[in-house]
Amino acid sequence: MGGLSSALGSLWATLSYWLDPFCGPVGVFAIFGGDGLLSCGNVGWADEIALGVKVTIVLALITLPVGLFLGFLIALAMQSEERSLRTAAGIYTTIFRGLPELLTLFIVYFGFQMMVQAVLSWFGSEERVEINAFFAGMLALSVVFSSYCSEVLLSAFRAIPKGQYEAGSAVGLSRRRTMRLVIVPQLVRIALPGLGNLWMNLLKDTALVSVIGLTDILRQTGVAAKVTKEAFLFYAIACALYLVLATLSSFGLNAISNWANRAETSR
C-alpha cells in the first residue's frame, strides 16, 4: 500500500510539474522569465508569484459556493412569511453591505480570534488561539458576497411568476421539489448576470487578504517589489494577472450564460 501511495505521489508531482502554467516546461515564467527577477527557482520571484495566483484562485473558488449558499438562505428568509426571519435577514444585509470589506475582514480576523479566546478563558483555558488567515479571509469574503448575492437572488425570485409555484403544486410536487425542479433552474438563469458581476468583484476583493498576511497575488508581488525595488514591474505583473483571471472568468460566464439560454429555449 505504501509503494502504491509513493508511486501515485510521484505521478502527481510529475504531472503537476509538466502542467504547471507558470514554472512548468511550457509555463509563462519558464519561457519569458529568462534568468532575471521573473525566473523560476532561487534566483527569481516566479515561484512566489505563482503561489500567490494559486492561493487567490483557491480562495475565490472556495468562497463562491459558501457565499452562494448563504445568499440563497438569506434570500429565502427575506421573502419568508415569518417576520423575525425577514428582520434578521434585513439586518444581516444592511450590516455587511454597509461596512467596508476591509473593515469586515479585520472584524472577522481579529474579532473572531478574540471571541474564541474569551470563550476558552471562560472555561479556564489560557491557551493562545490564532485564527488561520485563509479561513478568516474566506469567511469575511463569504459574508460580504452573500449579502450582495441575497439581493440579486431576491430580485430573481420576485421575477418568477407565482403561478410557477402553483403549477408545481398542481402536478403533485412538494414545495421542496417545486423549488428544486421548477424555481431554481429559472432562478439561476435570471440571476446569472448579476452573479457574474459579483464573481468579478470577489476576484478583486481577494486582494484584501494580503493585509492579514495571506500569500495572494498582491502580497507576493508587494514583497517582491519591496525587496527588489522594482515596484512598477511587479505591480504591473499583478495587474496583468488580475486582468487575465477576469478575462478567463468572462469567457466562462459567457459560456454558462449561453448554455442556460439554450436550455431555456429547448424547454
pLDDT truncated to tens, each residue of the chain (267 aa)?
556 666 666 766 676 666 678 877 777 777 777 777 888 877 788 889 999 999 999 999 999 999 999 999 999 999 888 999 999 999 999 999 999 999 999 999 988 878 877 777 777 777 777 788 999 999 999 999 999 999 999 998 888 887 777 777 777 777 778 777 777 878 888 899 999 999 999 999 999 999 998 999 999 999 999 999 999 999 999 999 999 999 999 999 999 888 877 756 655
Q: Are 257 and 218 in contact (CB under 8 A)?
A: no
Q: Rounded to whole angstroms, how far apart are CA atoms 114 and 195?
A: 33
Cell numbers 421573502 correspond to 79
Stated pTM of the model: 0.87
- The x, y and z cell numbers of residue 125, run together, are 483555558
Distance of alpha carbon 8 from alpha carbon 6, whole angstroms:
5
Contacts of 204 (CB under 8 A, 6+ apart): 242
Q: Provide the CATH topology of domain 52-230.
A: MetI-like fold (1.10.3720)
Which string of b and e fits 41-61 if b means at least 16 CB within 10 Å?
Answer: eeebbbbebbbbbebbbebbe
Q: Which of 60, 43, 102 is nearest to 216 (CA)?
A: 60
Angle, helix 46-78 to helix 83-98, in steps of 10 degrees: 150
